[in-house]
Amino acid sequence: MAGIVIWLSLRRGDPHLPHFTRWQVVGALSYVGTQIMFITATKLTTAANAIFLQYTALWVFLVIGEAPGQLALVGAALVVSALTGRAWASAQNSR
């Protein structure tokens, strides 16, 4: 709702209002997407899992070229092994 009000006020062309560049809009939309995915993750799993996965994102090196640290790799390995073990246990219980 607030976005609609801001958009309508920007359309008036008031010189005292801020003007957004294309990259600011891209950044804002990226932030909105991140928040939506985080909220969805906390609805589908525990908040601790969502936060842990957020801070151990291994795909970041593809975007900014920063190699993941050793702690991030260990954390991701733990998460993958725990999720695999949990999925395997669930499959065994459903038989």
Q: Are 28 and 62 members of one domain?
A: no
Most confident of 28-32, 58-62, 71-75: 28-32
Q: Are 69 and 40 members of one domain?
A: no
**pLDDT (tens digit, 9 = 90+) per residue, 33-71?**
988 988 888 888 887 777 777 766 666 777 777 777 788
Q: Are 15 and 34 members of one domain?
A: yes
Number of structural domains the chain divides into: 2
The enclosing H or E element of 75 equals helix 70-93
State the pLDDT at residue 64.
Answer: 78
Q: Structure pTM?
A: 0.46
* Domain span including residue 66: 56-95
78, pLDDT greater than 70: yes
Contacts of 58 (CB under 8 A, 6+ apart): 68, 72, 73, 76
18, pLDDT greater than 80: no
Q: Are 66 and 91 members of one domain?
A: yes
